[in-house]
Structure 1
Amino acid sequence: MTSVQPAGASPLEGKVEQALDGGSRPPVGRYRLDLATGEWAWSDEVYLIHGFEPGEIVPTTPLMLSHKHPEDRGRVDGVLRRAAETGQTFSSVHRIRDAHGETRVLAVTGQGRRDPASGRITELVGYFIDVTDSHRAAAQRDATASIKASAERRAVIEQAKGMLMAVYGVEEVEAFEMLRETSNRTNIAVRDIADTLVDLISGPEVTALPTRDAIEAFLKDPEAPSGG
Protein backbone atom coordinates (compact mmCIF):
# COMPACT_ATOMS: atom_id res chain seq x y z
CA MET A 1 0.00 0.00 0.00
CA THR A 2 1.24 3.48 -0.83
CA SER A 3 -1.09 5.28 1.51
CA VAL A 4 -0.22 8.88 2.29
CA GLN A 5 -1.20 9.64 5.86
CA PRO A 6 -2.59 13.13 6.43
CA ALA A 7 -0.61 15.32 8.79
CA GLY A 8 -1.31 14.50 12.41
CA ALA A 9 -2.23 10.87 11.82
CA SER A 10 -1.14 8.70 14.73
CA PRO A 11 0.95 5.52 14.38
CA LEU A 12 -2.08 3.51 15.52
CA GLU A 13 -4.24 5.03 12.78
CA GLY A 14 -1.52 4.16 10.30
CA LYS A 15 -1.58 0.55 11.49
CA VAL A 16 -5.35 0.41 11.00
CA GLU A 17 -4.98 1.52 7.38
CA GLN A 18 -2.12 -0.90 6.77
CA ALA A 19 -4.02 -3.83 8.27
CA LEU A 20 -7.04 -3.12 6.09
CA ASP A 21 -5.01 -3.22 2.88
CA GLY A 22 -5.46 -6.25 0.68
CA GLY A 23 -8.02 -5.74 -2.08
CA SER A 24 -7.98 -3.92 -5.40
CA ARG A 25 -10.38 -1.40 -3.87
CA PRO A 26 -9.36 -0.86 -0.23
CA PRO A 27 -12.47 -0.48 1.97
CA VAL A 28 -11.14 2.17 4.36
CA GLY A 29 -9.31 5.45 3.81
CA ARG A 30 -8.41 8.35 6.05
CA TYR A 31 -9.10 12.05 5.49
CA ARG A 32 -8.40 15.41 7.10
CA LEU A 33 -10.19 18.71 6.43
CA ASP A 34 -8.50 21.98 7.41
CA LEU A 35 -11.44 24.22 8.34
CA ALA A 36 -9.42 27.43 8.03
CA THR A 37 -8.25 26.83 4.44
CA GLY A 38 -10.86 24.33 3.25
CA GLU A 39 -8.06 22.01 2.13
CA TRP A 40 -8.61 18.25 2.25
CA ALA A 41 -5.92 15.59 2.71
CA TRP A 42 -6.92 12.16 1.40
CA SER A 43 -5.08 8.91 1.81
CA ASP A 44 -4.62 6.91 -1.40
CA GLU A 45 -7.60 4.74 -0.47
CA VAL A 46 -10.03 7.68 -0.48
CA TYR A 47 -8.97 8.61 -4.02
CA LEU A 48 -9.57 5.00 -5.13
CA ILE A 49 -12.95 4.83 -3.38
CA HIS A 50 -14.01 7.92 -5.36
CA GLY A 51 -12.73 6.44 -8.63
CA PHE A 52 -9.53 8.49 -8.95
CA GLU A 53 -5.88 7.56 -9.01
CA PRO A 54 -4.00 8.84 -5.95
CA GLY A 55 -3.11 12.50 -6.46
CA GLU A 56 -5.07 12.71 -9.73
CA ILE A 57 -7.21 15.61 -8.51
CA VAL A 58 -7.08 18.19 -5.71
CA PRO A 59 -9.84 17.24 -3.25
CA THR A 60 -12.15 20.11 -2.30
CA THR A 61 -15.47 20.30 -0.49
CA PRO A 62 -17.41 21.30 -3.65
CA LEU A 63 -15.81 18.42 -5.60
CA MET A 64 -16.54 15.94 -2.83
CA LEU A 65 -20.17 17.08 -2.53
CA SER A 66 -20.57 16.93 -6.32
CA HIS A 67 -19.96 13.19 -6.12
CA LYS A 68 -22.65 12.66 -3.49
CA HIS A 69 -25.92 11.20 -4.70
CA PRO A 70 -28.36 14.11 -5.26
CA GLU A 71 -30.79 12.66 -2.71
CA ASP A 72 -28.05 12.44 -0.04
CA ARG A 73 -26.03 15.60 -0.81
CA GLY A 74 -27.91 18.01 1.45
CA ARG A 75 -27.83 15.63 4.41
CA VAL A 76 -24.08 15.03 4.07
CA ASP A 77 -23.39 18.76 3.79
CA GLY A 78 -25.43 19.30 6.96
CA VAL A 79 -23.47 16.62 8.82
CA LEU A 80 -20.16 18.27 7.91
CA ARG A 81 -21.39 21.72 8.88
CA ARG A 82 -22.61 20.55 12.28
CA ALA A 83 -19.36 18.69 12.88
CA ALA A 84 -17.38 21.84 12.06
CA GLU A 85 -19.49 23.80 14.55
CA THR A 86 -19.54 21.30 17.41
CA GLY A 87 -16.43 19.15 16.93
CA GLN A 88 -18.40 16.17 18.15
CA THR A 89 -17.96 12.66 16.77
CA PHE A 90 -20.16 12.19 13.71
CA SER A 91 -21.09 9.56 11.17
CA SER A 92 -23.16 9.24 8.03
CA VAL A 93 -24.02 6.53 5.53
CA HIS A 94 -24.67 7.84 2.02
CA ARG A 95 -24.33 7.14 -1.69
CA ILE A 96 -21.80 8.62 -4.11
CA ARG A 97 -21.27 8.47 -7.84
CA ASP A 98 -17.58 7.87 -8.41
CA ALA A 99 -15.47 9.25 -11.26
CA HIS A 100 -16.60 6.33 -13.46
CA GLY A 101 -20.30 6.97 -12.85
CA GLU A 102 -20.68 3.95 -10.56
CA THR A 103 -22.92 4.34 -7.52
CA ARG A 104 -21.24 3.30 -4.28
CA VAL A 105 -22.32 3.38 -0.64
CA LEU A 106 -19.93 4.98 1.84
CA ALA A 107 -19.90 5.39 5.58
CA VAL A 108 -18.00 8.42 6.84
CA THR A 109 -17.03 8.86 10.46
CA GLY A 110 -14.87 11.42 12.20
CA GLN A 111 -14.52 14.15 14.77
CA GLY A 112 -13.23 17.67 15.19
CA ARG A 113 -9.86 18.70 16.55
CA ARG A 114 -9.46 21.90 18.57
CA ASP A 115 -6.58 24.31 18.68
CA PRO A 116 -5.16 24.07 22.23
CA ALA A 117 -4.57 27.82 22.44
CA SER A 118 -7.85 29.20 21.09
CA GLY A 119 -10.13 26.24 21.74
CA ARG A 120 -11.55 26.62 18.24
CA ILE A 121 -12.23 23.61 16.02
CA THR A 122 -9.58 23.74 13.33
CA GLU A 123 -9.98 20.46 11.44
CA LEU A 124 -12.09 17.37 10.94
CA VAL A 125 -10.43 13.95 10.77
CA GLY A 126 -11.78 10.48 10.23
CA TYR A 127 -12.41 7.63 7.81
CA PHE A 128 -14.33 6.88 4.64
CA ILE A 129 -15.48 3.25 4.62
CA ASP A 130 -16.71 1.63 1.39
CA VAL A 131 -19.69 -0.54 2.39
CA THR A 132 -21.09 -0.99 -1.13
CA ASP A 133 -20.80 -4.76 -1.26
CA SER A 134 -22.28 -5.36 2.18
CA HIS A 135 -25.06 -2.85 1.50
CA ARG A 136 -26.04 -4.69 -1.65
CA ALA A 137 -25.94 -8.00 0.20
CA ALA A 138 -28.18 -6.61 2.95
CA ALA A 139 -30.73 -5.38 0.40
CA GLN A 140 -30.73 -8.73 -1.39
CA ARG A 141 -31.33 -10.76 1.77
CA ASP A 142 -34.99 -9.76 1.74
CA ALA A 143 -35.39 -10.96 -1.85
CA THR A 144 -33.59 -14.30 -1.71
CA ALA A 145 -33.21 -17.15 0.74
CA SER A 146 -30.32 -18.74 -1.10
CA ILE A 147 -27.26 -19.63 0.94
CA LYS A 148 -24.34 -17.28 0.46
CA ALA A 149 -21.23 -18.62 -1.16
CA SER A 150 -18.26 -19.13 1.14
CA ALA A 151 -16.47 -16.20 -0.54
CA GLU A 152 -19.36 -13.88 0.33
CA ARG A 153 -19.31 -15.08 3.92
CA ARG A 154 -15.60 -14.36 4.16
CA ALA A 155 -16.22 -10.90 2.73
CA VAL A 156 -18.82 -10.16 5.42
CA ILE A 157 -16.42 -11.29 8.15
CA GLU A 158 -13.67 -9.10 6.66
CA GLN A 159 -16.07 -6.12 6.57
CA ALA A 160 -17.05 -6.66 10.21
CA LYS A 161 -13.39 -6.96 11.24
CA GLY A 162 -12.57 -3.78 9.36
CA MET A 163 -15.29 -1.83 11.15
CA LEU A 164 -14.16 -3.11 14.57
CA MET A 165 -10.57 -2.14 13.71
CA ALA A 166 -11.63 1.40 12.78
CA VAL A 167 -13.91 1.86 15.80
CA TYR A 168 -11.64 0.30 18.45
CA GLY A 169 -8.23 1.00 16.89
CA VAL A 170 -7.19 -2.66 17.19
CA GLU A 171 -5.24 -5.01 14.94
CA GLU A 172 -6.92 -7.51 12.59
CA VAL A 173 -6.22 -10.45 14.91
CA GLU A 174 -7.78 -8.62 17.86
CA ALA A 175 -10.85 -7.69 15.82
CA PHE A 176 -11.41 -11.32 14.83
CA GLU A 177 -10.88 -12.39 18.44
CA MET A 178 -13.73 -10.04 19.46
CA LEU A 179 -16.03 -11.81 16.97
CA ARG A 180 -14.82 -15.27 18.02
CA GLU A 181 -15.21 -14.52 21.74
CA THR A 182 -18.79 -13.41 21.12
CA SER A 183 -19.38 -16.56 19.07
CA ASN A 184 -18.01 -18.85 21.79
CA ARG A 185 -20.02 -17.14 24.51
CA THR A 186 -23.33 -17.05 22.63
CA ASN A 187 -22.98 -20.22 20.55
CA ILE A 188 -23.71 -18.20 17.39
CA ALA A 189 -21.54 -18.74 14.31
CA VAL A 190 -18.91 -16.05 13.67
CA ARG A 191 -20.25 -15.48 10.15
CA ASP A 192 -23.78 -14.88 11.54
CA ILE A 193 -22.47 -12.39 14.12
CA ALA A 194 -20.48 -10.61 11.40
CA ASP A 195 -23.48 -10.60 9.10
CA THR A 196 -25.71 -8.93 11.71
CA LEU A 197 -23.00 -6.44 12.67
CA VAL A 198 -22.52 -5.40 9.04
CA ASP A 199 -26.29 -4.99 8.70
CA LEU A 200 -26.25 -2.62 11.70
CA ILE A 201 -23.58 -0.60 9.92
CA SER A 202 -24.82 -0.64 6.35
CA GLY A 203 -28.41 -1.90 6.16
CA PRO A 204 -30.71 -0.23 3.62
CA GLU A 205 -32.35 1.96 6.29
CA VAL A 206 -29.14 3.01 8.05
CA THR A 207 -28.18 6.70 7.78
CA ALA A 208 -25.59 6.91 10.60
CA LEU A 209 -23.08 4.51 12.06
CA PRO A 210 -23.96 2.96 15.43
CA THR A 211 -22.06 4.35 18.40
CA ARG A 212 -19.24 2.44 20.04
CA ASP A 213 -21.56 1.81 23.00
CA ALA A 214 -24.15 0.31 20.63
CA ILE A 215 -21.54 -1.98 19.08
CA GLU A 216 -20.34 -3.06 22.53
CA ALA A 217 -23.95 -3.79 23.53
CA PHE A 218 -24.38 -5.88 20.38
CA LEU A 219 -21.23 -7.89 21.06
CA LYS A 220 -22.46 -8.59 24.60
CA ASP A 221 -25.88 -9.77 23.36
CA PRO A 222 -26.18 -10.18 19.56
CA GLU A 223 -29.77 -11.36 19.85
CA ALA A 224 -31.03 -8.36 21.81
CA PRO A 225 -33.20 -5.80 19.93
CA SER A 226 -31.05 -3.03 18.47
CA GLY A 227 -33.51 -0.30 19.32
CA GLY A 228 -32.80 1.31 15.95
Structure 2
Amino acid sequence: MNSAPTPDEPAIADEVEEVLAVGSTSPVGRYRLDLATGEWAWSDEVYVMHGFEPGQVVPTTPLMLSHKHPDDRDRVDGVLLEAAETGQPFSSVHRILDAAGETRTLAVTGQGLRDPESGRVTELFGYFIDVTDSHRAAAARDATASIRASAQRRAVIEQAKGVLMVVYGVDEEEAFGLLREASNLANIAVRDIALTLVDLFSGPDVTVVPTREAIDRFLADPGAPGGH
Protein backbone atom coordinates (compact mmCIF):
# COMPACT_ATOMS: atom_id res chain seq x y z
CA MET A 1 0.00 0.00 0.00
CA ASN A 2 1.66 3.20 -1.16
CA SER A 3 -0.69 5.90 0.13
CA ALA A 4 1.02 8.46 2.36
CA PRO A 5 0.05 8.81 6.03
CA THR A 6 -2.59 11.40 6.77
CA PRO A 7 -1.95 14.15 9.35
CA ASP A 8 -4.29 12.35 11.75
CA GLU A 9 -2.34 9.09 11.93
CA PRO A 10 -0.06 10.11 14.86
CA ALA A 11 -3.22 10.25 16.99
CA ILE A 12 -3.29 6.44 17.12
CA ALA A 13 0.44 5.99 17.72
CA ASP A 14 -0.04 5.59 21.46
CA GLU A 15 -2.57 2.79 20.94
CA VAL A 16 -0.20 0.99 18.57
CA GLU A 17 2.61 1.22 21.12
CA GLU A 18 0.30 -0.09 23.86
CA VAL A 19 -0.62 -3.14 21.79
CA LEU A 20 2.96 -3.73 20.75
CA ALA A 21 3.97 -3.79 24.42
CA VAL A 22 2.82 -7.42 24.53
CA GLY A 23 5.53 -8.39 22.06
CA SER A 24 8.09 -6.15 20.38
CA THR A 25 8.47 -8.46 17.39
CA SER A 26 4.77 -8.51 16.48
CA PRO A 27 4.30 -7.95 12.72
CA VAL A 28 2.54 -4.67 11.95
CA GLY A 29 0.64 -3.74 8.77
CA ARG A 30 -1.30 -0.70 7.64
CA TYR A 31 -4.81 -0.57 6.25
CA ARG A 32 -7.26 1.93 4.83
CA LEU A 33 -11.00 1.34 4.40
CA ASP A 34 -13.09 3.31 1.91
CA LEU A 35 -16.49 3.44 3.57
CA ALA A 36 -18.29 4.31 0.34
CA THR A 37 -17.08 1.24 -1.56
CA GLY A 38 -16.28 -1.13 1.31
CA GLU A 39 -12.88 -1.80 -0.24
CA TRP A 40 -9.74 -2.04 1.82
CA ALA A 41 -6.16 -1.14 1.00
CA TRP A 42 -3.72 -3.43 2.76
CA SER A 43 0.02 -3.26 3.19
CA ASP A 44 1.88 -6.47 2.33
CA GLU A 45 1.99 -7.45 6.00
CA VAL A 46 -1.82 -7.56 6.31
CA TYR A 47 -2.09 -9.90 3.31
CA VAL A 48 0.40 -12.23 4.97
CA MET A 49 -1.48 -12.09 8.31
CA HIS A 50 -4.57 -13.34 6.48
CA GLY A 51 -2.65 -16.11 4.73
CA PHE A 52 -2.39 -14.51 1.28
CA GLU A 53 0.42 -13.40 -0.96
CA PRO A 54 0.51 -9.60 -1.35
CA GLY A 55 -2.03 -8.61 -4.01
CA GLN A 56 -3.46 -12.15 -4.28
CA VAL A 57 -7.01 -11.03 -3.41
CA VAL A 58 -9.00 -7.81 -3.43
CA PRO A 59 -9.67 -7.04 0.24
CA THR A 60 -13.30 -6.10 0.90
CA THR A 61 -15.43 -5.90 4.02
CA PRO A 62 -17.26 -9.20 3.24
CA LEU A 63 -13.86 -10.88 2.76
CA MET A 64 -12.62 -9.44 6.02
CA LEU A 65 -15.67 -10.58 7.96
CA SER A 66 -15.53 -14.04 6.38
CA HIS A 67 -12.10 -14.52 7.96
CA LYS A 68 -13.15 -13.37 11.42
CA HIS A 69 -13.50 -16.14 13.98
CA PRO A 70 -17.23 -16.95 14.30
CA ASP A 71 -17.19 -16.17 18.02
CA ASP A 72 -15.65 -12.72 17.41
CA ARG A 73 -17.39 -11.70 14.16
CA ASP A 74 -20.36 -9.79 15.59
CA ARG A 75 -18.19 -7.91 18.05
CA VAL A 76 -15.69 -6.85 15.37
CA ASP A 77 -18.49 -5.82 13.01
CA GLY A 78 -19.93 -3.67 15.81
CA VAL A 79 -16.57 -1.98 16.43
CA LEU A 80 -16.21 -1.10 12.73
CA LEU A 81 -19.78 0.19 12.47
CA GLU A 82 -19.33 2.44 15.50
CA ALA A 83 -16.00 3.72 14.18
CA ALA A 84 -17.61 4.46 10.81
CA GLU A 85 -20.32 6.49 12.54
CA THR A 86 -18.18 8.39 15.04
CA GLY A 87 -14.71 8.48 13.49
CA GLN A 88 -13.30 8.18 17.00
CA PRO A 89 -10.07 6.26 17.65
CA PHE A 90 -10.69 2.58 18.36
CA SER A 91 -8.85 -0.60 19.10
CA SER A 92 -9.87 -4.24 19.30
CA VAL A 93 -8.27 -7.67 19.64
CA HIS A 94 -9.91 -10.53 17.78
CA ARG A 95 -9.23 -13.89 16.19
CA ILE A 96 -9.27 -14.70 12.50
CA LEU A 97 -9.10 -17.87 10.44
CA ASP A 98 -6.47 -17.29 7.78
CA ALA A 99 -6.59 -18.67 4.24
CA ALA A 100 -5.10 -21.97 5.48
CA GLY A 101 -7.71 -22.29 8.24
CA GLU A 102 -5.24 -21.47 11.02
CA THR A 103 -6.41 -19.33 13.93
CA ARG A 104 -4.49 -16.12 14.44
CA THR A 105 -4.98 -13.27 16.90
CA LEU A 106 -4.86 -9.73 15.54
CA ALA A 107 -5.07 -6.35 17.20
CA VAL A 108 -6.56 -3.60 15.10
CA THR A 109 -6.36 0.06 15.94
CA GLY A 110 -7.41 3.08 13.95
CA GLN A 111 -9.66 6.09 13.54
CA GLY A 112 -11.81 7.86 10.97
CA LEU A 113 -11.04 10.49 8.38
CA ARG A 114 -13.77 13.08 7.83
CA ASP A 115 -14.62 14.89 4.64
CA PRO A 116 -13.81 18.57 5.33
CA GLU A 117 -16.95 19.79 3.51
CA SER A 118 -19.66 17.34 4.64
CA GLY A 119 -18.08 16.36 7.96
CA ARG A 120 -18.95 12.74 7.26
CA VAL A 121 -16.53 9.93 8.04
CA THR A 122 -15.32 8.68 4.66
CA GLU A 123 -12.39 6.45 5.59
CA LEU A 124 -11.02 4.37 8.42
CA PHE A 125 -7.28 3.92 8.63
CA GLY A 126 -4.82 2.42 11.06
CA TYR A 127 -2.82 -0.70 11.80
CA PHE A 128 -3.19 -4.45 12.17
CA ILE A 129 -0.79 -6.07 14.63
CA ASP A 130 -0.34 -9.84 14.64
CA VAL A 131 -0.19 -10.75 18.34
CA THR A 132 -0.66 -14.50 17.86
CA ASP A 133 2.75 -15.44 19.24
CA SER A 134 2.38 -13.07 22.19
CA HIS A 135 -1.00 -14.58 23.08
CA ARG A 136 0.38 -18.10 22.76
CA ALA A 137 3.30 -17.19 25.00
CA ALA A 138 0.93 -15.67 27.57
CA ALA A 139 -1.27 -18.79 27.44
CA ALA A 140 1.80 -20.97 27.92
CA ARG A 141 2.87 -18.89 30.92
CA ASP A 142 -0.62 -19.17 32.42
CA ALA A 143 -0.65 -22.91 31.83
CA THR A 144 2.78 -23.31 33.40
CA ALA A 145 1.72 -21.27 36.44
CA SER A 146 -1.44 -23.35 36.75
CA ILE A 147 0.51 -26.61 36.57
CA ARG A 148 3.02 -25.35 39.12
CA ALA A 149 0.25 -24.25 41.50
CA SER A 150 -1.47 -27.61 41.09
CA ALA A 151 1.78 -29.41 41.89
CA GLN A 152 2.24 -27.28 45.00
CA ARG A 153 -1.30 -28.10 46.14
CA ARG A 154 -0.71 -31.80 45.66
CA ALA A 155 2.62 -31.62 47.49
CA VAL A 156 1.16 -30.03 50.63
CA ILE A 157 -1.74 -32.51 50.65
CA GLU A 158 0.73 -35.39 50.40
CA GLN A 159 2.68 -33.93 53.34
CA ALA A 160 -0.48 -33.59 55.43
CA LYS A 161 -1.50 -37.16 54.61
CA GLY A 162 1.92 -38.32 55.78
CA VAL A 163 1.48 -36.51 59.07
CA LEU A 164 -1.89 -38.14 59.68
CA MET A 165 -0.62 -41.58 58.68
CA VAL A 166 2.09 -41.30 61.37
CA VAL A 167 -0.10 -39.72 64.05
CA TYR A 168 -3.08 -42.07 63.65
CA GLY A 169 -1.41 -45.15 62.22
CA VAL A 170 -3.74 -45.16 59.19
CA ASP A 171 -3.14 -45.78 55.50
CA GLU A 172 -3.03 -43.15 52.78
CA GLU A 173 -6.70 -43.42 51.84
CA GLU A 174 -7.84 -43.10 55.43
CA ALA A 175 -5.55 -40.12 55.98
CA PHE A 176 -7.08 -38.33 53.02
CA GLY A 177 -10.51 -39.21 54.36
CA LEU A 178 -9.66 -37.38 57.59
CA LEU A 179 -8.63 -34.30 55.61
CA ARG A 180 -11.78 -34.42 53.50
CA GLU A 181 -13.97 -34.84 56.58
CA ALA A 182 -12.38 -31.81 58.22
CA SER A 183 -12.79 -29.88 54.97
CA ASN A 184 -16.49 -30.66 54.76
CA LEU A 185 -17.00 -29.89 58.44
CA ALA A 186 -15.48 -26.42 58.26
CA ASN A 187 -16.28 -25.68 54.58
CA ILE A 188 -12.60 -25.04 53.98
CA ALA A 189 -10.69 -26.36 50.96
CA VAL A 190 -8.72 -29.57 51.56
CA ARG A 191 -5.57 -27.81 50.38
CA ASP A 192 -5.99 -25.10 53.04
CA ILE A 193 -6.68 -27.69 55.74
CA ALA A 194 -3.51 -29.52 54.67
CA LEU A 195 -1.45 -26.34 54.60
CA THR A 196 -2.45 -25.40 58.15
CA LEU A 197 -1.83 -28.92 59.40
CA VAL A 198 1.65 -29.03 57.88
CA ASP A 199 2.35 -25.60 59.34
CA LEU A 200 1.46 -26.93 62.81
CA PHE A 201 4.41 -29.28 62.50
CA SER A 202 6.90 -27.29 60.46
CA GLY A 203 5.97 -23.60 60.73
CA PRO A 204 8.70 -21.08 61.57
CA ASP A 205 7.36 -20.58 65.10
CA VAL A 206 6.99 -24.25 65.98
CA THR A 207 9.16 -25.32 68.92
CA VAL A 208 7.12 -28.29 70.21
CA VAL A 209 5.64 -31.06 68.06
CA PRO A 210 1.83 -31.02 68.44
CA THR A 211 0.30 -33.87 70.41
CA ARG A 212 -2.30 -36.22 69.01
CA GLU A 213 -4.86 -34.40 71.14
CA ALA A 214 -3.92 -31.12 69.45
CA ILE A 215 -4.37 -32.72 66.04
CA ASP A 216 -7.75 -34.11 67.20
CA ARG A 217 -8.86 -30.60 68.17
CA PHE A 218 -7.65 -29.15 64.89
CA LEU A 219 -9.48 -31.72 62.74
CA ALA A 220 -12.64 -31.27 64.81
CA ASP A 221 -12.60 -27.49 64.36
CA PRO A 222 -10.05 -26.43 61.69
CA GLY A 223 -11.67 -23.02 61.37
CA ALA A 224 -11.04 -22.10 65.00
CA PRO A 225 -8.79 -19.06 65.70
CA GLY A 226 -5.18 -20.05 65.43
CA GLY A 227 -6.08 -23.20 63.41
CA HIS A 228 -5.93 -25.48 66.47
TM-score norm. by structure 1 comes to: 0.55
Instruction: Find the residue that maps to 1:118 and give its secondary structure.
Output: coil
Which residue type is aligned with residue 125 of structure 1? F
Which residue type is aligned with residue 63 of structure 1? L
Confirm or deny: 8 A CA contact 1:26 1:49 kept in the other structure: no
Structure number having the greater helix percentage: 2
Confirm or deny: 8 A CA contact 1:67 1:98 kept in the other structure: yes
Give the deviation of 1:9 after TM superposition: 2.0
Give 1 or 2 for the bigger CA radius of gyration: 2
Distance 1:58 1:99 in 2: 14
Distance 1:56 1:12 in 2: 29
Q: 1:45-60 residue pairs with structure 2 within 5 A?
A: 45-60=45-60
Which segments of 5 or more consecutive residues in structure 1 lack a partner in the other structure?
Answer: 146-228
Change in Cα spacing, 1:36 to 1:66, as seen in structure 2 (3 Å) is: same
Partner of 2:140: 140
Change in Cα spacing, 1:26 to 1:142, as seen in structure 2 (3 Å) is: closer
* Structure 1 residue 107 corresponds to structure 2 residue 107: yes
Q: 1:9 aligns with which of 5, 11, 15?
A: 5
Percent identity of equivalent pairs: 80
Which residue type is aligned with residue 72 of structure 1? D
Partner of 1:76: 76
Which segments of 5 or more consecutive residues in structure 2 lack a partner in the other structure?
Answer: 14-19, 146-228
Q: 1:180-195 residue pairs with structure 2 within 5 A?
A: none
TM-score norm. by structure 2 comes to: 0.55
Distance 2:33 2:140 in 1: 35
Which residue type is aligned with residue 5 of structure 2? A
Partner of 2:87: 87
Please give the root-mean-square deviation of Cα atoms over the aligned residues, in Å.
Answer: 2.7
Partner of 2:221: none
Instruction: Find the residue that maps to 2:144 and give its secondary structure.
Output: coil
Count of matched residue pairs: 135
Confirm or deny: 8 A CA contact 2:26 2:131 kept in the other structure: no
Please identify runs of 4+ aligned residues in structure 1 that moved more than 4 A.
10-13
Confirm or deny: 8 A CA contact 1:26 1:45 kept in the other structure: no
